[in-house]
Every structure is written in structure tokens, then in C-alpha cells.
A and B are shown apart, each in its own frame.
Chain A
Amino acid sequence: MRLTPRPVAGALLAACSLVALMTAFSGCKKTEARKPGEVLIGFSSRDLSAEYTAKLSEAVVEYAKTKPGVGLVMVDAQSDAQKQISQIENFISLKVDVIILNPCELEASTPAVDRAKAAGIPIVLVNQVTKSAGNAYIGSNDVDAGHIAMEAVAKKLGGKGGVLMIHGIMGTSAQLQRETGAREVFAKYPGLKLVDHQTASWDRAKAMSLTENWIQAHKGKFQAIFAHNDEMAMGALLALERAGIKKDVYVIGIDAIAQALTAVKEGRLDATVFQDAVGQGKGSVDAALLLARKQPCPKENLIPFQLVTPENITPFLK
């Protein structure tokens, strides 16, 4: 095919406007020359479309801005572990001083950690662990979250009754650990029966459909629903409310996202478990800076979970 001048001009114009567009939207420090002594952090966020992760990532970005001589490049892995590995590889070729990784998955994101370590770049894991340990882990032990939530259910039901559990995406460390924590409580109370359990992939609409189906399948046989996150707890809550049986069922989620807190305050949702997104975000930046400056840094910084009920909700609403 022979290129006529018009398509060539068109292509050039398109390329120029594309570059202009990218520059207009980037606003990051990537293209600027590195100042001597500046610490450059590469941060790969799991998924900016998930409310909790978005909050954590915002805390990372905002907190890094308050530190003089610190640059930060943030990328979004959109829940895709493959993409996350390539992002870490890009950070390595960018020669960042330290990486903060918010892993997509327990197993699949492990190669990302291995690559960074092989390249000699310290890596901080935040919110979720991988099979290979990073140089530091900032997060909360999700087993505790599952445990706290199920204990609240057990207490409410007096250690006896039917429970439905809604899983997150199967195989994510949060799902696995929250389930482990919940099952510890089931083992403790023989009267507590797990009537059914199923995944709704952290998704509100899916949890709502699942709960509608469960209401048909197990009507009267369950007194509580434990969802691995608040989005799904909200879905279960809506289904129960529409069916007019919310008063018979105790519903609890994890994460304490804004809507769940409002629902707890209004007395619709019974409880949630608070996970400190801002605390985790700041903690990961602090650890990253210690590692980049070759200062001693604790291997693990666990930020505790807290049960949020209508009685103690005020400080969480801020």
C-alpha cells in the first residue's frame, strides 16, 4: 500500500494529539529528570475501582506528597496479577529506589515480588501478602477480621443458629484468611451451623442475587449472614430488606466503607469490621522510605481491626 500525503499527515496529527493528551493527563513526575538525592517510590495499587483500595491508594499518594524529596509513581493493576508483574518490571527498568506493592493475589502476584528482590530493589507489601515475603509488610491480619466478625455473629445468636457466608473472589488472600478466621469460630461453637456458603466475587449485585436465591432455598433456616466485605453485605442487606425479613437476620461485613458505616448508623446494617486504609497507606510509605534510605525497618506492622456497631460508631464517621 502506497502512503499518500494525506494519511501520513493525518497519522502525524493523530500521534501529536495523542502525545499532547497523554501529557495533559499524566501530571506525574515520570518524565522529569531525577533530582539527586530524591527517593523515587513505585506504587502498584491492586484496583482503584474498589472503594477500600482507592482510599488506601489516596492515602499513599497524599502522604508521600507531604514528605520532602520524595517522588511517587502510581499505577493501577485493575485486579490483574499479570498486569501487576509487568508494572513491577517497568519499575525495575525505571530504577525506582523502592516499590510499594498492593498485591492482587496471594500466589499470582508472587513473581512480582521475586523480580523486585532479584533486581535488588526493596519491596513493601501492603494490605495483602504474597507467597514470597517482601522486605516489609504493612497490613492487617485478615484471619482476625473473619474471627471478629463471626464472634459478633456467635454472640448475637447466643452460639446457636444457621449462618450463611458470602466469599470474596476465591483464592485472594483476604477471602482465604477471612474464611479461616470465621471457621475458627464455627469450630468453637458446635451450635453454629454454616447453612451454605458461596462466592459473590466482592460484588454487590452478585451478592444481592445470591441472597435472593438463598432466601428461596433456606428460608427460616438462617439467622445471620457474614459477607467477606461490605459491598457484598450491602447487597445481602438490600435483598433481605426487599424480602421484608431483615429483622430476622443479622448482617455483618468487613472494611467499614462509607456506605456501610452510614447503614450501621441508620440501624440497617448490624455491624462491620473497620480496616484502617489510611493507616495502612501511611505505614507503607514510612516503611518504604526507611528501606530506601537503608535504615532498619520492622518486617511487619500489623494495624488492628475493630468491630463497628451502632454503639461505637461515632468516631468512625468522622
Chain B
Amino acid sequence: MPALDRHLLHRFGLLLVILAVGLGLSFVTDTFLSVANLTNVARQVSINGILAVGVTFVLLTAGVDLSLGSVVALSGVACATFAHPGDHTVFIPIAVGLLTGAACGLVNGVLVTRGGVAPFIVTLGMMTIARGLALIFSGGRPVANMSSELTSLAGDFLGVPIPVLCFASVATGAWFFLRNFRLGRHIYAVGGNENAARAAGVPVERVKLFAYGLCGLLTGLAGVVLAARITTGQPNAGQAYELDAIAAVVIGGTSLAGGVGTITGTLLGVLLIGEINNGLDLMGVSSYFQAVIKGVIIVGAVWLDRRQSRS
């Protein structure tokens, strides 16, 4: 099956880039290749990872979600507001955070499907609306005084950071879902050719609504994890998170035109970005150069990958 081969090559090429960068880093620094540091990388990528998995669904339907960062902030603020010690059991703030994210995603989805507004515009609007709401609910100040039950979500479970466990289960679930569920296959169909999918009886609108809703739910999860990690709900958190998430997905071989892409690819894209961020800090590269190097590596990785998959 040629399509399968192409995906294997995608992954293989990207895996090579990740290993090459990792190899380079373990030569240049004496700390990169240690359990403590790799745990570190895993912990730092988990928030971007959860977002990237969510937005993979949206990108597969040929949509886009630019509101990720703002919705992370809004969900974090919503979660922190209900997380003061002794107020509620820990499940309430978590549920509030998740539902806030899901609600934003569903609004995006409804406007895209029923309203017929372009996803770029809908989610651009949500980007500023969610940021504004986060500022309104928090009065512009970080929501502090969170219970230790909630902040312990950023701690470890059996030696593994809980954010990493969240990311791993989200990624595994999404991978399984896209491969084995009918709705998962429908997502590819909608992104590949919307009219053909509709003609074949795929409920296109419902599939898209699901993709945006799920993306929102996962964004809410990322907001809860971030709030637990920085022990506050920050209304100005998550600036430009959508860019890192979408970059990771695209590096992972998902087409912005929809219909093509895998969770495994997204996972690799997330790892590459995390590896670069961590490596540049370890090497003490100046702030001015970091941004440039990061951009060059991201574009370079995608270029190499595409070149390989064409040949």
C-alpha cells in the first residue's frame, strides 16, 4: 500500500532528525542524555503535546484552531477559581476546566459547521474572546491560593510526572480512536474530500463538531495541567501556544489541507520541539539566537521530511 509506505517514511525521516539532534546535544552538553533531563523534557512537552493531539483532529478535517493559547488561559483561570483549599473536592475544578475548554471548542465547531464561517476567522475570534473572558473572570490578576490536591497533579506518580501520564494516555487514546473507530476514519474522509464524504453518507457537520469539541476538551485539560504546574490560573498564560502546537503537528506530517496525518507523527513533532527548547537552554544559547535557531530547525525538519517522502 503506497500510502502506508509514505507514512512510514514520514515517521522514519523525522525520527532520524530527532535522533541526530539528540546525538548532537549529548556530545555538546554532558547533561542532555540523563534520566533526570529526559524526564524534564517529557514534563515540559506534555502541555504542548496534549494541545497538539487535540489540534491534530481539527487539522485533519482541514480546519484550524488558533484559540488554543487563550482557551488554555481561560480554562486555567476557571479551574483555579474553583480550586481554593477546602472549597470543593479536586474533581470539581478539574471538571470546570475541562468543560470550559470543551464549551469553547463546541462554540468554534457550531460556528464553523452551522454558521459556515471559515475556521481561521471563527477561532481567531475565539482567541480574543477567550483571552478577554479570562481577564474578566480573574480581574486581570493571577488566581492564586490553589489547593495542594490540585497542584499535586503536576507532581509524580510512581516516579513518572503526572502531566506526562496525561499526555501519554491522551496520545494513546487518540491513536487508537483514529485507527479503529468509524468516527476516526470519518475524520480523515471529511478532511480528504468533504463532498465525496458527504456523498458517501458521512455526517460531515457532526464529525467536524466532534473534532472541534474534542480539541477544546483537550485544550481544557492542558489548561488544568498548566494551572497545576504553575500553581495559579494566569489570565495571560498560554501566549502563542497554538503556534507551537500547530508547528508540532505539521512537522509530524499532518497536512494543513486535511485528510493526511497521524498521532505518531504529532508525537514526534512535539518531541522535536521540546528537544530543541531544552537543548538550547542547556547549551546556554543567547535569547536572541534561540528564536532564530528554533525557526530554522522547524522549517528544516519539515523540508527534509517532505523531500524524503517525495523521493
Q: Show the binding face of A for B, using Cβ within 8 Å.
A: 47-51, 54, 167, 170, 196, 198-199, 203-205, 208-210, 212-214, 216-217, 219, 231, 234-235, 238, 242, 258-259, 262
Give CA–CA (A138, B31) in the complex, Å. Answer: 46
In the complex, are the beta carbons of A205 and B230 less than 8 A apart?
A: yes
In the complex, are the beta carbons of A210 and B237 less than 8 A apart?
A: no
In the complex, are the beta carbons of A216 and B235 less than 8 A apart?
A: no
Knowing A170-B287, A170-B288, A212-B44, the reply to whether A217 touches B230 (Cβ < 8 A) is no
Q: How many A-B residue pairs have CB under 8 A?
A: 81
In the complex, are the beta carbons of A51 and B284 less than 8 A apart?
A: no
Interchain residue pairs A-B with the least CB separation, the first 3: A213-B281, A49-B236, A54-B140
Residue of B nearest to A54 (CB): B140
In the complex, are the beta carbons of B230 and A204 less than 8 A apart?
A: yes
In the complex, are the beta carbons of B230 and A214 less than 8 A apart?
A: no
Contacts of A262 in B (CB 8 A): 144
In the complex, are the beta carbons of A238 and B135 less than 8 A apart?
A: no
Give CA–CA (A119, B230) in the complex, Å. Answer: 45
In the complex, are the beta carbons of B236 and A217 less than 8 A apart?
A: no
In the complex, are the beta carbons of B281 and A214 less than 8 A apart?
A: yes
Contacts of B287 in A (CB 8 A): 167, 170, 198-199
Contacts of A203 in B (CB 8 A): 236-237, 239
Q: Does B264 contact A (CB under 8 A)?
A: no
In the complex, are the beta carbons of A51 and B230 less than 8 A apart?
A: no
Contacts of A258 in B (CB 8 A): 141, 144
Knowing A217-B284, A235-B230, the reply to whether A259 touches B142 (Cβ < 8 A) is yes
In the complex, are the beta carbons of A217 and B232 less than 8 A apart?
A: no
Residue of B nearest to A200 (CB): B287
Give B265-311 interface residues, CB cut-off 8 Å to A.
277-278, 281-282, 284, 286-288
- Most B CB contacts (10 A, CB to CB) among A48, A212, A213 go to A213
CB distance from A257 to the nearest CB of B (A): 8
Give CA–CA (A259, B146) in the complex, Å. Answer: 12
In the complex, are the beta carbons of B44 and A216 less than 8 A apart?
A: no
Give CA–CA (A196, B286) in the complex, Å. Answer: 9
CB distance from B24 to the nearest CB of A (A): 16
